[in-house]
Homo-oligomer: A and B are copies of this chain.
Amino acid sequence: MKVLITGGAGFLGQRLARRLLEAGRLPGAQGPAQTIDEITLLDVAPAASGGDARVRSVVGDVSERRVLEDALDAQTHAVFHLAAIVSGQAEADFDLGMRINLDASRQLLEVCRMRGHRPRVVFTSSVAVYGGTLPGLVRDDTALDPRSSYGMQKAVAELLLADYTRRGFIDGRVLRLPTISVRPGRPNAAASSFASGIVREPLAGETAVLPVDPATRLWLLSPRAAIDALVHGYSLDPSRLGERPIVNLPGLSVSVAQMIDALREVAGDAVASRIVYRRDERIERIVASWPGRWDTTRAESLGFAGDRDFADVIRAYIENDAPRL
C-alpha cells in the first residue's frame, strides 16, 4: 500500500513518516495490517527521505488539483492530511489561509472521491475551532464558534470531511489536537508558538517572550503523544467512530505559570528566568478564545491517551529533541 502525508516536510509529517517507516506496516485499513510500499511526502519544500527508498518527495502547492493527483492514486489507502497555514499567519494573510487550510482540504477530498477507492483519511484539527463563551468543560457536543480564520477554516474542513465520510466517498476521521508542545526548531507564526518557545529557547540559553497572561490555561500534547494519536486514529475501525468521526484528543490542562514551574523543576531557576513577559494583545485574544481543556471521555474510550505531566514532556524533549549544547 501507499501512504500520503501532506505537510510531509513539516515537523509532525517528518516524525510520522519516520514512525511509519520503522513500523513498515499500517494496522487495520480494510482488513489486516498491510506492508507500506511507498510514503509520499507532499509539501512546498522537498522533504527529507532519511535515505529510505520507500520515501517519495512531491514538491508542490497542496491546493492544486494536479499536484494532488500526482500525490495520490488508487493504491494510496492511507492519507494523513497535516498541511496547514498556522493560526497567526492565516489571520495575517486571509487568502493564503483560505487556499491552504480550506481549498486544499476540499481538493484533497475531491481527488480521493474521484479515485473511487475510499481511502482512509486522517485530518488534524485544532482547539481553535472553539471560541466565544465556552462552558467550563468543552464537550464533544459544544458548538464550534471559531474566533480566528484558522479556526474557521479547520471547522469548515471538519464539516467537509464528515460529509464525505457519511456519503462513503472516503473513510475519514478528524483528530482535534491540543496545542503541540514542546516543538523543536524555531518559532513559527502560530499564535501558540510561545507554548513551545518558553521551554525550548530558555533551554538553549536564549530569552523567550511570553505574550499572554501567565494565568492562561493551555491544552497541550507532546509531539510523541501526537504521533501515537495519529497512528491510533488511523487504525480505528469506522464502526467504532459511529456517525461522528471527530475526536477531541486527550491533553494536559496546564496554566502557563505551571509550565514555567515545570521548567524550573526540570532545568532550574536560571533557565526559567530567561522568560520575559511582554503582552501581545493580538496573540492573547486568539489564544484566550481556545478551550483550556475539554472532555476526553470519548477519546479515552476509543483508546487514545495523552501525556502524564508537563515536567515529563520537558524531560522527553531534552532527551530526544533539544539541540546538544
Contact = CB atoms under 8 A, between A and B. Distances in A.
Integer count of this chain's copies in the complex? 2
A147 B140 CA distance: 16
Contacts of A143: 140-144
Interface in A210-238: none
Contact of A152 (B135, B145, B160): B160
B132 A146 contact: no
A159 interface: yes
Contacts of A167: 94, 149
Interface residues of A, number: 24
A312 interface: no
A295 interface: no
A52 interface: no
- Binding site secondary structure of chain A: loop
A71 B44 CA distance: 38
A90 to B, nearest CB: 10
A239 interface: no
A166 interface: yes
Contacts of A280: none
A241 interface: no
A243 interface: yes
A155 interface: yes
Contacts of A166: 147
A298 to B, nearest CB: 12
A152 B147 contact: no
B133 A146 contact: no
Contacts of A132: 243-244
A214 to B, nearest CB: 25
Contacts of A147: 166, 243
A261 interface: no
17 contacts: A132-B243, A140-B143, A141-B142, A141-B143, A141-B145, A144-B144, A144-B159, A145-B162, A145-B244, A146-B162, A146-B163, A152-B159, A152-B163, A155-B159, A156-B156, A156-B159, A159-B159
Interface of A: 94, 132-133, 135, 140-147, 149, 152, 155-156, 159-160, 162-163, 166-167, 243-244
Top 6 closest pairs, chain A to chain B, by CB: A152-B163, A141-B143, A143-B143, A156-B156, A152-B159, A155-B159
